[in-house]
Each structure stands twice: as C-alpha cells, then as structure tokens.
Amino acid sequence: MMRHLVCLFIVTAASVGGGCSRAGLEGVVPVTGTVTYNGKPVEGAAVSFSPAGEGRSASALTTEDGKFSLTTLEAEDGAFPGSYKVGISKSEVVNPISDAERQKQFHENMGRMPLEEHRSLLPEKFRNPNTSGLTAEVEKSGENNFAFDLAD
C-alpha cells in the first residue's frame, strides 16, 4: 500500500511539474537579431530585453557574427509579445587576477569573491535599457528579427 502511494505521488508530482513548465512557455515566440558596433559584428555582448510595462525579461549572448536568440524560460525559446526596452553591454576584465590569487582573496575576505575591475567595450549608454534609446516590439506572429547597429 505504501509503495503504491509513493508511486502515485511521484507520478502526480511529475505531471504537475511538467504541466507548469509547458504552461509557462505558452505565448513565447522566437526572437533573433544582430548586434553591430560601427558596422562590425559584436561577439560576446549581453543583450537584454526589458518589458516596457509589466512582463518577463529575456536575454541572450551574441555569437562571433553578432547574432543572438533570446531566452526567457528555456534556452533560445524567445520572448513574450510586447514592447521592450533593450540594453546591450560588453566588457573585459582589466588586470585579471590568477586563480591562485582569487582563492587567496576569497579566503582572506571570509568567503566573498574578489571584485575585478571591468572596462566597457561599448558606449556606456547602451548598457542600461532606460538610457540606451533602443526598443523592440515583439509580435505574436512575424519574423521578430532585430538589428541593433550601435555607434559612438
């Protein structure tokens, strides 16, 4: 009897869990695009779509040819239809520290990770969706492919 109840619980939990994740994906549409800076593709840029009103954000990293596919709930599933403000950033570490030094600082600072200085490789205004001036309107149907050509 106990084994039967455990099996019933596992089956019920699995079906409820599976249903929730699939229901969460309903309405998400594929969204792709390209990021260029002064006409050249930007590899490794973080792209964020922040809803202009209420909603869920989506994000992506660009490939070597500057292309991206947004993720909301699962890898490259897209975004929910609606209006978005867009932020794009790329940075590099200035004077990176070695793994040994990172471990040493971690222990000396009682478990806090050491902070490394970063330098932005794109104009700072594009980092924040509220100051970038970049927007996107994701439609329920259609291509939803956006090109962002950033310039100084």
Let me know the angle formed at the C-alpha of 86 by 125 and 151, rounded to the nearest 5 degrees.
45
CATH of 28-91+121-150, one of 3.20.20.150, 1.10.240.10, 3.10.20.740, 2.60.40.10: 2.60.40.10
Residue 85 has which token pair?
Answer: 């403000």
Per-domain residue ranges for the chain?
28-91+121-150
pLDDT in tens, 93-148: 887 888 888 788 888 887 777 677 889 999 999 999 999 999 999 999 989 999 99
pLDDT in tens, 7-26: 333 333 333 344 344 445 68
Closest residue by Cα to residue 117 from 83, 101, 135, 94: 94
